[in-house]
């Protein structure tokens, strides 16, 4: 039995959906612990592509219990659309559970998010404009609505009769937008409540029972370490805590419940939205990787900015999350390159550092220090064992493992489930030592 947290070790979009889907085969319960519909996980199974935003990736396994935890924020309209979509593709949602204490995204959250981002102008954050930040803000301000509030018609009316007039003042006076009508919103959200009611549970109690029964639990994060509200590239971050510690808060479990933490990182680096990006490619190589890697956001469709692998943020992710193994994705995207660069440090005001700076202004001034490795110039997409990989690709993986001082447990070579090399199953496999006998990290 093992309880594993899967986190993004970069700026999100690392391929966590595929890795979570892969590990869900060995899991009894999959818990999504933070974020909202601003996240997107793409899972490819045979000839079908599933784009999931709120529903945990484990939904594709019919016997797996999937829980949307208390730390998430839920847009009922989009969740219902997602339910309809996966059910139309023949996937059962009978094992989906929704935390009764998760907060709800309302129409005014989306309107405020969009208007606020537009008003920022050149200082915009790069939000998805899905209302996530304002929903979390209301949660912190203690004026939010939770799933359990939707289940109580009179209670919901009472809350909306106070909240909507207050939000209308903001919409009208600050942003010049039309006001919302209490009765219209109430009727709409009561319909959502009827559809979602069969799935609503005390999620932390469900998870506790699973722990007591020694079932395998997979905790699934959204976004990535560098987008964490407390530990990311603030202010260009999300509004929740994607890091491993967020799993305990968002799921409602203690830290002693976690056995392992696996970080997912691309073999290069991408970023969506605004903010500093030291290894960003400004030449044609970035376009090559973007095309080969289909680097477009699952949620927004925005093109992702591409850069070389950044071991500085990799080491930072190891430290912040307590990573004990890695999944490296999209190695095959590098197949055509003559040479591959890896950022091993930053030069700040002429001084080289291996550590991630907390200041966004300082981070923007970082000059990457690179080491260059030879490319392999052959296709790896059909490799299924480490020994199938060309030596240059093995050397590259070994170098990344040494730089971050953690072993690589999984290597992904395409979108399909079968396009994967599993060195070690993080759930069922033995937890190996971080170092070989000679003191070097194992792949």
List b or e across 15-33, with b for residues whose CB sees 16 or more CB atoms inside 10 angstroms: bbbbbbbbbbebbbbbbbb
List % helix, strand, coil for the chain (3-state, nearest 5).
Answer: 35, 20, 40
Q: How far, in Å, CA of 295 to CA of 189, rounded? A: 35
Q: Residue 167: name the closest of 125, 196, 194, 137 by CA.
A: 137
pLDDT truncated to tens, each residue of the chain (443 aa)? 589 999 999 998 898 888 988 888 889 999 999 999 887 767 776 677 777 889 998 888 889 999 999 999 999 999 999 999 889 888 899 999 999 999 999 999 999 998 888 888 777 777 788 899 999 999 999 999 999 999 999 999 999 999 999 999 999 999 999 999 999 999 999 999 999 999 999 999 999 999 999 999 999 999 999 999 999 999 999 999 999 999 999 999 999 999 999 999 999 999 987 889 999 998 888 888 888 988 876 656 778 899 999 999 999 999 999 999 999 999 999 999 999 999 999 999 999 999 999 998 899 999 999 999 999 999 998 999 999 999 999 999 999 999 999 999 999 998 888 899 999 878 776 555 444 545 455 56
Catalytic residue check, 13 = yes
- Evaluate whether 259 touches 77 at the Cβ level (below 8 Å): no
- Tell how strand 408-412 and strand 420-422 pair up: antiparallel
Q: Give residue 117's pLDDT.
A: 84
Catalytic residue check, 181 = no
Q: How far, in Å, CA of 282 to CA of 266, rounded? A: 19
Radius of gyration, CA atoms only, the chain: 22
Q: Give residue 2's pLDDT.
A: 86
Q: How far, in Å, CA of 20 to CA of 250, rounded? A: 17
- Number of Cβ within 10 Å of residue 438's Cβ equals 5
Select which of 28, 41, 109, 113 is catalytic: 41
- Evaluate whether 412 touches 423 at the Cβ level (below 8 Å): no
- Write the CB contacts of 79 (distance below 8 Å, at least 6 apart in sequence): 37, 54, 55, 68, 98, 196
CA–CA–CA angle 309, 269, 240 (5° rounding) = 125
DSSP 104: E
Q: Please state the φ and ψ torsions of residue 266, each to the nearest 5 degrees.
A: -70, 160
Peptide bond into 235 cis (omega under 30): yes
- Tell how strand 305-307 and strand 351-353 pair up: unpaired
- Evaluate whether 441 touches 406 at the Cβ level (below 8 Å): yes
Q: How far, in Å, CA of 98 to CA of 68, rounded? A: 5
Q: How far, in Å, CA of 8 to CA of 32, rounded? A: 13
Would you call 70 helix, strand, or coil by DSSP?
Answer: coil
Q: Give residue 46's pLDDT.
A: 65
Q: How far, in Å, CA of 251 to CA of 235, rounded? A: 25
CA–centroid distance for 83 within its chain:
20
Select which of 13, 21, 324, 332 is catalytic: 13
């Amino acid at each position: 039995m093992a309880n594993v947290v899967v986190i993004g070790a970069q700026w999100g979009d690392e391929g966590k959906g595929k890795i979570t889907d892969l590990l869900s085969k060995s899991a009894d319960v999959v818990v999504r612990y933070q974020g909202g519909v601003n996240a997107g996980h793409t899972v490819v199974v045979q000839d079908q592509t599933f784009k999931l935003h709120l529903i945990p990736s484990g939904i594709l396994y019919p016997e797996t219990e999937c829980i949307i935890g208390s730390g998430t924020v839920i847009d009922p309209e989009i969740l219902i659309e997602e339910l309809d979509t996966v059910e139309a593709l023949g996937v059962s949602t009978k094992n989906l559970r929704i935390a009764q204490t998760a907060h709800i995204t309302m129409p005014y959250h989306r309107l405020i998010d969009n208007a606020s981002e537009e008003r920022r102008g050149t200082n915009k954050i790069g939000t998805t404009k899905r209302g996530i930040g304002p929903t979390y803000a209301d949660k912190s301000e203690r004026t939010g609505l939770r799933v359990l509030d939707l289940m109580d018609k009179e209670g919901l009316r009472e809350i909306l009769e106070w909240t909507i007039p207050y939000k209308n003042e903001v919409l009208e006076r600050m942003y010049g937008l039309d006001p919302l009508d209490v009765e219209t919103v109430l009727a709409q959200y009561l319909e959502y409540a009827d559809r979602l009611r069969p799935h609503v549970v005390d999620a932390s109690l469900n998870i506790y029972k699973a722990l007591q029964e020694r079932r395998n639990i997979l905790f699934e994060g959204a976004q990535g370490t560098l987008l964490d509200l407390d530990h990311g590239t603030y202010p260009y971050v999300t509004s929740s805590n994607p890091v491993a510690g967020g799993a305990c808060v968002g799921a409602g479990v203690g830290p002693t419940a976690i056995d392992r933490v696996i970080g997912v990182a691309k073999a290069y680096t991408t970023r969506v939205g605004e903010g500093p990006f030291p290894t960003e490619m400004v030449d044609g190589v970035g376009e090559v990787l973007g095309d080969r890697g289909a680097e477009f956001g699952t949620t927004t469709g925005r093109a992702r900015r591409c850069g070389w692998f950044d071991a500085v943020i990799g080491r930072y992710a190891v430290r912040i999350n307590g990573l004990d193994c890695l999944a490296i994705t999209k190695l095959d995207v590098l197949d055509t390159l003559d040479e591959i660069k890896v950022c091993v440090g930053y030069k700040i005001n002429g001084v080289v550092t291996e550590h991630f700076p907390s200041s966004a202004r300082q981070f923007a001034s970082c000059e990457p220090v690179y080491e260059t490795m030879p490319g392999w110039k052959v296709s790896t997409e059909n490799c299924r064992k480490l020994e199938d990989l060309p030596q240059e690709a093995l050397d590259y993986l070994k170098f990344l493992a040494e730089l971050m001082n953690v072993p690589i447990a999984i290597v992904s070579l395409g979108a399909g489930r079968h396009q994967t090399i599993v060195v070690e199953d993080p759930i069922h496999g033995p937890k190996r030592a971080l170092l070989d006998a000679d003191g070097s990290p194992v792949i």
